[in-house]
C-alpha cells in the first residue's frame, strides 16, 4: 500500500488522470501475455523523461518497487508486479522525436507501438526490420528491454542490432544518455548494450535511437513439406550454403500442423513430419525470384516431398496465415499452454526435437514444436490443464527437462521472450557461478536498493 502523501506526489508529477488506484485499474495492470497475475499498488503513466526521473526519485527515496510496462504482451511475466509497488506505464510516451533520413536513424520515445514506428519510417522509404509477431501490440521500449526477435532475424538480426543509443532513467532518478549516431564506437564499455534485454531491472528506458535500412521492395515465399524431420533441418544449412540468405526460415512440426488443421482447416498437409516456410526479400525482383527458385530446388534435393511457391500476394499471405495461427490454435486446444523459447545451435535442432518428443511421451503431455529454424530458436509448447494439479506437476517436470535438453545441446533457456518470473527458477542451469557473481555486481551498481522490477530476470540479493 502506498500512502496518500506519496500518491499525492505522483499526482503532482504526472497529473491526477495518470495515477490510477481503482480496483478495476489495478486488475487491468496485473497481467501480461502469460497467466501470472499480481496487482500493483498504483499505476503511474508519465509523459516524458523528466517525469519518469521525478517518479523514480520518489520511489528511490521511499524504497518503492517499480515495474516498467509497455503493452504487456510479454511472455515471461516480466511486466507483472509480483511484489506490488508502482506499475510504470510508458505508453503515453509515444512520439517520434527525430527522423534523420540522411543518417538513416530515428529517435523515438520508448512507449511507441513498434508497428507505428515502422509505418512512420516506411513512409519515407526506410525500414526497421525486427518483427516480433507482436509488433502491433508491443512497444519499442518493451522490445529493447526483451531484445525482441522475430521471423526476420535470420537475415536482419534482433532488436539489439538496431539500437544505437538510449536514454535511461536510473533507479535513483538520474538521467543517462548513452550511445551516439556514430556507427562505430569503442569508447570504453558499451553501456547501452547492458540495457538491451535487461527486462526493466537496470533502468527505465525512455528514449531509443535506432538504425534503419532501405526498405526491401520484393519478397517471395515458399512452403516445403517433409516426411522426415532431419531433412527439414538439413535443408536450413543447405539453403545457407547455396549462397542464399533468406529473411526467414520457420519450422512447424507435425503436432503443430495437426493442431492448426484441427481448428482452422487451412488445408495444410497432415501426416508429414514438418513444414518449413521460407521467405526471401530484396530490392531486385529478378534476384528475389531466382533465389526462391534456388531454394525450391535445394528443398527438394534435401528431401522435401512437396514445395509450393506463392505466386501472388494473397498466396503469400495464406502461407503466413498458418504460421501466425499457431499460438491461437494451441490456446484453443489447450486448455492451458506453456510456450518455451529455447535457443540452440542450428545443427542441434533435429536432436532437440527428437528429445522433446520423447519427453512428450514420457509425461503423457502434448508438446507442439515450432519456431525460427533459421536461427535455432524453438518454441516447444506444452499443452495441459491447470485445474488438474497432477498435470501441472508433469508440465513442470517436462518444462525442466526441456531446459536441460537446451543446455546439454549447447543452447540456452530463452532466445527472445526473456526470463521474467517464469524462467527464473532455472537460471542456475544456464549460468556459471562466475557469471552470476558478475551479474550480481552489475545489478548492484545500477539498482542498489533492489527496487527495479524485483523478482525478475536475475535472482538478486541486496548486499547489506
Partner 1 sequence: MAEKITQRILQDISVPEEKQCHLCSRCGLCLSVCPTYRETLRETDSPRARLMLLRKVIEGELQISRGFVAKMYGCLNCLACNVICPVGIKPSDIALAARSMIHQARPQSLLQSLIFGNYFSHSSLMELSVLPMFLYQCLGIQGAVRAFGILERLPEQLRDMERMLPPLPERSLRHRLPEVMPARGERKYRIGFFLGCFQNIVFTNVSAATVRVLAHNGCEVVTPKDIKCCGMPHVGHGDLKTARTLARHNIDILEKLDVDAIVTDCATCGSTLKTYDSLLAEDAEYNVRARAISAKVKDISEFLGAIPLREPQHPQRARVTYHDACHLRRGQNVWSEPRQLLQLAGAELIELREADWCCGSAGMQIIMNYKGSMQILARKIQNIAATEATIVYAGCPGCQLQLGLGAKRFGLKVLIEHPIQLLDRSYQ
Ligand X SMILES: Cc1cc2nc3c(=O)[nH]c(=O)nc-3n(C[C@H](O)[C@H](O)[C@H](O)COP(=O)(O)OP(=O)(O)OC[C@H]3O[C@@H](n4cnc5c(N)ncnc54)[C@H](O)[C@@H]3O)c2cc1C
Number of residues that bind partner 1 (CB under 8 A): 35
Number of residues that bind ligand X (CB under 6 A): 37
CA gap 129, 237 in Å, rounded: 23
Which part of the chain contacts partner 1 (CB under 8 A), choosing from 86-94, 169-177, 371-379, 454-462?
A: 86-94
Contacts of 295 (CB under 8 A, 6+ apart): 222, 239, 242, 244, 246, 278, 280
> Of the two residues 49 and 138, which places its CB atom closer to partner 1 in the complex?
138
- Choosing from 2, 14, 106, 205, the residue that interacts with ligand X (CB under 6 A) is 205
- Choosing from 28, 242, 347, 392, the residue that interacts with partner 1 (CB under 8 A) is 28
Nearest to 39 by CA among 99, 7, 80, 73: 80
Site membership for ligand X, residue 74 (CB under 6 A): yes
> Of the two residues 296 and 415, which places its CB atom closer to ligand X in the complex?
415
Nearest to 155 by CA among 275, 296, 249: 249
CA gap 398, 393 in Å, rounded: 9
Residues 106-145 as x/- pattern, contact with partner 1 by CB under 8 A? -----x-x-x------------------x-xxx-------
The order of strands in the sheet holding 163-169 is 96-100, 105-109, 204-211, 163-169, 175-179
Residues 99-138 as x/- pattern, contact with ligand X by CB under 6 A? -----------x---------------------xxx---x
> Of the two residues 310 and 327, which places its CB atom closer to ligand X in the complex?
327
CB of 89 to ligand X, least distance (A): 8
* Residues 352/378, Cβ–Cβ less than 8 Å: yes
Residues 32-71 as x/- pattern, contact with ligand X by CB under 6 A? xx---------------------------------xxxxx
Q: Which does 113 bind (CB under 5 to 8 A by kind): partner 1, ligand X, none?
A: partner 1
Cβ burial, residue 176 (10 Å; 0-12/13-18/19+)? middle
CB of 216 to ligand X, least distance (A): 19
CA gap 147, 350 in Å, rounded: 26
Site membership for ligand X, residue 247 (CB under 6 A): no
User: How many other C-beta atoms are found inside a 10 Å radius of the C-beta of residue 321?
Assistant: 12
The secondary element (H helix, E strand) that includes residue 114 is helix 114-122
User: How many other C-beta atoms are found inside a 10 Å radius of the C-beta of residue 174?
Assistant: 13
Interaction site with ligand X (CB under 6 A)? 32-33, 67-75, 78-79, 90, 110, 132-134, 138-139, 141-143, 145-146, 148-150, 199-200, 204-205, 327, 416-417, 453, 456
Amino acid at each position: 500500500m502506498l500512502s496518500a502523501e506519496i500518491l499525492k506526489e505522483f499526482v503532482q508529477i504526472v497529473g491526477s488522470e495518470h495515477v490510477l488506484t481503482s480496483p478495476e485499474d489495478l486488475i487491468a495492470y496485473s497481467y501480461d501475455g502469460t497467466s501470472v497475475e499480481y496487482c500493483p499498488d498504483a499505476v503511474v503513466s508519465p509523459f516524458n523523461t523528466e517525469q519518469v526521473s521525478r517518479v523514480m526519485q520518489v520511489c528511490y527515496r521511499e524504497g518503492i518497487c517499480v515495474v516498467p510496462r509497455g503493452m504487456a504482451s510479454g511472455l515471461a511475466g516480466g511486466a507483472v508486479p509480483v511484489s506490488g509497488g508502482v506499475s510504470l506505464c510508458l505508453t503515453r510516451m509515444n512520439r517520434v522525436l527525430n527522423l534523420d533520413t540522411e543518417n538513416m536513424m530515428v529517435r523515438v520515445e520508448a512507449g511507441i507501438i513498434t508497428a507505428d514506428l515502422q509505418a512512420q519510417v516506411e513512409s519515407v522509404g526506410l525500414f526497421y526490420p525486427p518483427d516480433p509477431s507482436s509488433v502491433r501490440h508491443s512497444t519499442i521500449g518493451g522490445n529493447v528491454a526483451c531484445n525482441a526477435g522475430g521471423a526476420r532475424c535470420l537475415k536482419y538480426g534482433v532488436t539489439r542490432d538496431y539500437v544505437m543509443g538510449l536514454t535511461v532513467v536510473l533507479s535513483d532518478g538520474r538521467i543517462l544518455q548513452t550511445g551516439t549516431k556514430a556507427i562505430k564506437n569503442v569508447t570504453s564499455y558499451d553501456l547501452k548494450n547492458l540495457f538491451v534485454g535487461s527486462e526493466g531491472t537496470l533502468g527505465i528506458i525512455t528514449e531509443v535511437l535506432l538504425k534503419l535500412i532501405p526498405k526491401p521492395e520484393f519478397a517471395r515465399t515458399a512452403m516445403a513439406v517433409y516426411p522426415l524431420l532431419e531433412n527439414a533441418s538439413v535443408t536450413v544449412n543447405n539453403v545457407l550454403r547455396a549462397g542464399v540468405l533468406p529473411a526467414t526460415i520457420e519450422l512447424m512440426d507435425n503436432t503443430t500442423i495437426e493442431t492448426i488443421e484441427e481448428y482452422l482447416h487451412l488445408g495444410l498437409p497432415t501426416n508429414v513430419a514438418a513444414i518449413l516456410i521460407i521467405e526471401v526479400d530484396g530490392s531486385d525482383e529478378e534476384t528475389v525470384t531466382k533465389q526462391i527458385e534456388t531454394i525450391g530446388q535445394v528443398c527438394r534435393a534435401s528431401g522435401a516431398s512437396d514445395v509450393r511457391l506463392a505466386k501472388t500476394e494473397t498466396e503469400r499471405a495464406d502461407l503466413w496465415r498458418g504460421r501466425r495461427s499457431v499460438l491461437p490454435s494451441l490456446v484453443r486446444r489447450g486448455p492451458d499452454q506453456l510456450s518455451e523459447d529455447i535457443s540452440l545451435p542450428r545443427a542441434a535442432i533435429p536432436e532437440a526435437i527428437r528429445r522433446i518428443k520423447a519427453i512428450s511421451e514420457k509425461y503423457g503431455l502434448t508438446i507442439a514444436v515450432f519456431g525460427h529454424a533459421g536461427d535455432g530458436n524453438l518454441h516447444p509448447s506444452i499443452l495441459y490443464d491447470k485445474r488438474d494439479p497432477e498435470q501441472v506437476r508433469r508440465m513442470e517436470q517436462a518444462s525442466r527437462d526441456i531446459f536441460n535438453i537446451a543446455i546439454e545441446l549447447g543452447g540456452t533457456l530463452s532466445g527472445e521472450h526473456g526470463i521474467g518470473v517464469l524462467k527464473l527458477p532455472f537460471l542456475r542451469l544456464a549460468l556459471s557461478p562466475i557469471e552470476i557473481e558478475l551479474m550480481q555486481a552489475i545489478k548492484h551498481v545500477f539498482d542498489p536498493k533492489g527496487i527495479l522490477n524485483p523478482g525478475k530476470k536475475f535472482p538478486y540479493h541486496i548486499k547489506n
